[in-house]
């Protein structure tokens, strides 16, 4: 892949790694290239011990597994297991926050309910009475409603999907047999169905993929975001900084990495409380920076600076300036502990599911959150004392970035133009073509695509064609580092129609300039905010979400979570671009189902394209088709 578009942050950090003789993910990828063709096609099965089986669907090799399983059934079964992995990650995250919120209400965990407005708005959705009641009592009822979903055996529809999801889509899902009750039961059933000697019908397996994706979307993403907003507050638009230059040689640099703000909120709190100890140790201050999705959470609510996306996590340790990297769950590279050892960085794991050799493990439990967070921050201060005076290599690269575009914040800006009908300005500008459509660019950062700046180029091509982009996860970090979350990006890259709209909105918001052309909506769980935004527009128009001029993209697919998130958008009828191809190409029927036939089921398709401009052009054409179906030119 060409290096002409290699992002400057990557280039600078890789130069440091080479200078220090450090092994990186790129080196490890090169050593194992070319990668296994059977694996990339999805025609490799390890479900039983007669195998592993490798099917060769396009050559002269075996055409079925030892048990007789077909290529389509094999790839569908593998895809379902990937989707289970993604859904389990998000549902587990949501359940952890739910139990923490329950402990807070019981006085067992030292947190406060900061999102009172969110509690009251959800109470309306779930029919919980509020008149004359304390917010905590209302919140307790909501917690009980959510807890019911994890224990029910009555097969009634899950509370969070039946009350939170749009009614039209629910009717479609019910007709397709996709509605669900207890998420844990469905995860168990999917794993059972994919064990040796069970479901071998690729069509049946693919419907299970859609059901599992719905579980991820509503009992994972939506529930998690609702709970976190109740506990920590609804994000508001703020300006921060992004890229490795946010590290400060003279400060205690604490990198919060992972996904769960139950940990990172306390790390930030104790960083403020212990700043005097850091100064006494010779530091200017304690500088908490964000890595991966927990960085997005902190940035959205507190303006914390964004140091790195996931594939840069080992590279920023090589600067020698990170005194502590504190991790919780998901996307934590095992290699990080080895790199940290080279620079006396305190690499601290906190969750029992994430035990890494050579890491320091400090169990973080909500009821002891203050004690553990204090110990973690003091470990960072001690590491700074050991580092003080040693040379560091911090590339002086950073850019401004706007974050905090929750649905509530967006509606607040729109209300300045039309308080009675905040969504109307959006609809009017879609109708007149100033906004051609919407694109959700989400997901991971992959070293397979970083040197070609896949995400940045895709986004630039979209906004140049008047497509408003919203983003989450590590893709949000990428866009921030590229300067795409700034008013200047609107002036530089946006098409004339989009530029005009964003200029009006920015002035209405009191910014004195345009809003950025890419809206940072949060971490990977915050993809539910994108759905809520689309649902509000669809409801105002009286159509289904799948009828909107909107499209999704995971331009640098890495995680199982991205597979399940993508499936949740397909279940809504929102077509999705993806790169690289999911591991299904060895199953012709499954490939055709996702790329063509799904349009007759939910109204959505998957499109694979590895080149940024061609991907953007397909997305714009798809949006144009949706506009035409609505009678828009």
CA angle, residues 73, 524, 591, in degrees to nearest 5? 25
Beta partners for residue 252, in sequence order: 286
- Sequential DSSP letters for 159-182: HHHHHHS-HHHHHHHHHHT---S-
Mention every residue, 6+ apart, whose C-beta is less than 8 A from residue 354.
327, 328, 329, 332
Q: Give tens-digit pLDDT for 423-448.
A: 999 999 999 999 999 999 999 999 99
Residue 633's pLDDT is what?
A: 84
CB 376 within 8 A of CB 348: yes
pLDDT at 58: 87
Encode 420-431: b = buried (16+ Cβ within 10 Å), e = exposed. eebbebbeebbe
Query: Is it true that the peptide bond before 460 is cis, omega within 30 degrees of 0?
Result: no
| DSSP class of 419 | S
3-state secondary structure at position 271: helix
In sequence order, what DSSP letters do the residues of 217-263 get, joined into one string?
IIIIIIHHHHHHHHHH-----EEEEESGGG--TTSEEEEEESS-HHH
Beta bridge partners of 286: 252
The answer, yes or no, to whether the previous bond of 401 is cis (omega within 30 of 0) is no
Is 469 in contact with 463 (CB distance < 8 Å)?
yes
The per-residue pLDDT for 5 is 82
Indicate left, alpha or beta for 631 from its phi (over 0: left) and psi (-120 to 50: alpha): left
All domains of the chain, ordered by start, with CATH?
Answer: 8-54 (no CATH), 71-232 (1.20.1270.30), 244-387 (3.40.50.2030), 401-629 (3.40.50.2030)
Structure tokens at 572: 């809504």
Instruction: Split the chain (633 residues) into runs of 10 and give each run's mean pLDDT.
Output: 74 96 94 92 95 90 95 97 98 98 98 98 98 97 98 95 96 97 98 97 98 98 98 96 98 98 98 98 98 97 98 98 98 97 96 96 97 98 95 97 97 94 96 97 96 97 98 98 98 98 93 94 98 96 97 97 97 98 96 98 98 98 97 91
At residue 341, the pLDDT reads: 95
CB under 8 Å to 90, separation ≥6 — which residues?
A: 216, 220, 221, 224, 524, 525, 561, 564
Interval 540-598: pLDDT, tens: 999 999 999 999 999 999 999 999 999 999 999 999 999 999 999 999 999 999 999 99
Question: CB-based contacts of 409: which residues, under 8 Å, 6+ apart?
Answer: 234, 235, 236, 237
Q: What is the three-class DSSP state of 16?
A: helix
What was the pLDDT predicted at 1? 37
User: β-strand 360-361 against 576-578: which pairing, if any?
Assistant: unpaired
Confidence at residue 510, expressed as pLDDT on a 0 to 100 scale: 87
Quick count: other Cβ atoms within 10 Å of Cβ 355?
Answer: 9
Structure tokens at 449: 């695509």
Residues 84 and 72: their CA atoms lie apart, in Å, by 18
Q: Which residue has the tokens 């976190």?
A: 228
The whole-number pLDDT of residue 4 equals: 61
What pLDDT, in 10s, does the model give residues 329-367?
Answer: 999 999 999 999 999 999 999 999 999 999 999 999 999
Map residue 306 onto helix, strand or coil.
strand
Distance CA 19, CA 319 (A): 11
Q: Sheet of 399-403: strands edge to edge? A: 360-361, 346-349, 324-327, 252-257, 286-291, 305-308, 238-242, 399-403
The total number of residues written for the chain in this structure? 633
Q: Tell me whether the omega of the peptide bond preceding residue 52 falls within 30 degrees of 0, making it cis.
A: yes
CA distance readout (Å), 443 to 94, 357, 476 = 18, 28, 8
Torsion of CA 524, 529, 531, 535, to 10 degrees: 180
SS3 55: coil
């Amino acid at each position: 892949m060409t290096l002409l578009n290699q992002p400057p942050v990557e280039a600078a950090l890789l130069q440091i790694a080479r200078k220090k003789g450090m092994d990186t993910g790129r080196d490890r990828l090169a050593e194992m290239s070319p990668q296994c063709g059977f694996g990339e096609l999805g025609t490799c099965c390890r479900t039983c011990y007669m195998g592993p089986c490798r099917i060769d669907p396009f050559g002269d090799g075996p055409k079925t597994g030892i048990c007789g399983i077909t290529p389509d059934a094999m790839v569908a079964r593998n895809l379902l297991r990937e989707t289970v992995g993604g859904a389990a990650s998000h549902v587990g995250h949501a359940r952890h926050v739910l139990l923490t919120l329950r402990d807070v209400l019981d006085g067992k965990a030292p947190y406060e309910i900061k999102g009172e407005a969110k509690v009251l708005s959800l109470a309306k959705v779930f029919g919980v009475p509020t008149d004359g009641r304390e917010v905590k009592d209302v919140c307790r009822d909501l917690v009980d409603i959510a807890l019911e979903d994890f224990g029910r055996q009555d097969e009634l529809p899950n509370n969070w999907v039946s009350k939170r999801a749009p009614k039209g889509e629910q009717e479609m899902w019910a007709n397709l047999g996709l509605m669900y009750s207890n998420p844990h039961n469905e995860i168990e059933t999917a794993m059972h169905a994919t064990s040796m000697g069970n479901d071998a019908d690729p069509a049946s397996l693919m419907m299970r993929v859609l059901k599992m994706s719905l579980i991820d979307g509503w009992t994972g993403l939506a529930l998690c975001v609702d709970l976190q907003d109740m506990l920590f507050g609804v994000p508001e638009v703020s300006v921060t900084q992004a890229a490795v230059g946010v590290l400060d040689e003279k400060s205690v640099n604490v990198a919060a990495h992972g996904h769960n703000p139950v940990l990172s909120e306390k790390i930030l709190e104790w960083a403020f409380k212990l700043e005097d100890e850091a100064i006494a140790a010779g530091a200017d201050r304690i500088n908490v920076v964000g890595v991966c999705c927990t960085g997005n959470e902190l940035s959205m609510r507190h303006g914390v600076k964004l140091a790195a996306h996931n594939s840069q996590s080992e590279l920023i340790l090589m600067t020698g300036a990170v005194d502590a990297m504190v991790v919780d769950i998901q996307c934590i590279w095992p290699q990080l502990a080895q790199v940290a050892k080279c620079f006396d960085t305190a690499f601290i794991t906190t969750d029992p599911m994430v035990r890494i050799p050579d890491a320091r493990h400090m169990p973080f439990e909500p009821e002891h959150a203050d004690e553990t967070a204090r110990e973690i921050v003091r470990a960072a201060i001690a590491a700074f004392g050991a580092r003080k005076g040693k040379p560091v290599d911090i590339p002086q690269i950073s850019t401004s970035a706007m974050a905090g575009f929750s649905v509530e914040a967006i509606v607040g800006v729109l209300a300045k133009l039309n308080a009675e009908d905040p969504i109307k300005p959006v609809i009017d500008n879609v109708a007149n073509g100033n906004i051609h459509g919407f694109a959700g660019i989400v997901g991971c950062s992959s070293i397979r695509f970083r040197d070609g700046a896949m995400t940045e180029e895709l986004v630039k091509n979209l906004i140049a064609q008047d497509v408003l982009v919203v983003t989450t996860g590590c893709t949000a970090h990428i866009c921030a580092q590229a300067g795409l979350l700034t008013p200047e990006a609107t002036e530089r890259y946006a098409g004339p129609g989009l530029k005009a709209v964003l200029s009006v909105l920015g002035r209405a918001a009191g910014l004195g300039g345009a809003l950025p052309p890419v809206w940072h909506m949060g971490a990977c769980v915050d993809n539910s905010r994108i759905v809520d935004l689309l649902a509000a527009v669809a409801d105002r128009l009286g159509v289904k979400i799948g009828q909107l001029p909107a499209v999704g993209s995971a331009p640098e697919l890495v995680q199982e979570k991205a597979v399940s998130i993508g499936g949740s958008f397909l279940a809504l009828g929102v077509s999705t671009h993806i790169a690289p191809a999911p591991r299904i190409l060895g199953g012709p029927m499954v490939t055709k189902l996702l790329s063509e036939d799904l349009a007759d089921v939910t109204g959505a398709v998957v499109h694979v394209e590895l080149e940024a401009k061609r991907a953007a052009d397909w997305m714009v054409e798809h949006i144009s088709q949706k506009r035409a179906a609505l009678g828009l030119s």
